[in-house]
Amino acid sequence: MAKCPVDSRNLDEIKYEGVAVDHCGSCGGVWLDAKELETIQETRIMDFSEALSKPENLVAAAFSMAKSGRERDYQCVRCDAVLIKREYGYASQIQVDVCPEGHGMWLDHGELQALEKFYERMNAEADSEFAALEAEIKSARSREGVLGFLRSFWS
Ligand SMILES: [Zn+2]
Ligand SMILES: [Zn+2]
């Protein structure tokens, strides 16, 4: 049974966007296995690098708030390794905790929600900037969801 890296409670399985993920009922954090991200349907990855370079202040604030309250390192739920903070490129201020052995990533309570907001905003910007591709973007979005977006952190 996987244990929460924050409070050592047993994680339970919940469905998120149709994928089983490990969730802590105590602190609300979520563990995503690398293989869980890999099972998300393969779709064309949009180039969101420009959008990622100007994240919504609200989102950045939520992330730094969640990280600043931490008193100790988190451990991978699959091995003994200490999770490392990894910032997505272009100074996005979006940080996820990943296992250096490649087991997956941990999202503190609120981070998944913050990512959802960020992802929605990114899609909205994509709609206005690439109006001609709108239909294609919408169809890619409905297939990918936030988990598909998270895959782009991983790869
Ligand atoms: Zn917990
Ligand atoms: Zn690990």
Residues 6+ apart with CB under 8 A from 152: 45, 48
Ligand nearest to the CA of 102: 2
Q: List the structure tokens of 87.
A: 């910032």
pLDDT tens column, 65-91? 555 556 678 999 999 999 988 764 444
Q: What is the pTM of this model?
A: 0.62
Pick 107 or 127 by higher pLDDT. 107
Cα 129 to ligand 2 centroid, rounded to whole Å: 39
Please give the distance, rounded to the nearest whole angstrom, from the Cα atom of residue 8 to the centre of ligand 1: 6
Summarised one tens digit per residue, pLDDT across range 89-101 is 444 466 778 898 9
Cα-to-centroid distance, 99 and ligand 1 (Å) = 17
Ligand nearest to the CA of 22: 1
Q: How many residues does the chain have?
A: 155
- Ligand having the closest approach to the CA of 4: 1
Instruction: Tell me the CA–centroid distance for residue 115 and ligand 1, in Å.
Output: 19
Q: What is the DSSP letter of 132?
A: G
Determine the distance separating the centroid of ligand 2 and the alpha carbon of 122, expressed in angstroms.
Answer: 30
| 134 — pLDDT class (breaks 50, 70, 90) | low
Three-class secondary structure of residue 107 per DSSP = strand
- pLDDT band of 13, cuts 50, 70, 90: very high
Domain residue spans in the chain?
Answer: 12-154
CA of 147 from ligand 1 middle (Å) equals 20
Q: What is the pLDDT of residues 26-59, one digit of tens each?
A: 999 999 888 766 654 333 334 444 444 444 555 5
Q: Separation of 23 CA from ligand 1 center, angstroms?
A: 8
Neighbours of 39 (CB within 10 A): 14
Residue 103 Cα to ligand 2 midpoint, Å, equals: 4
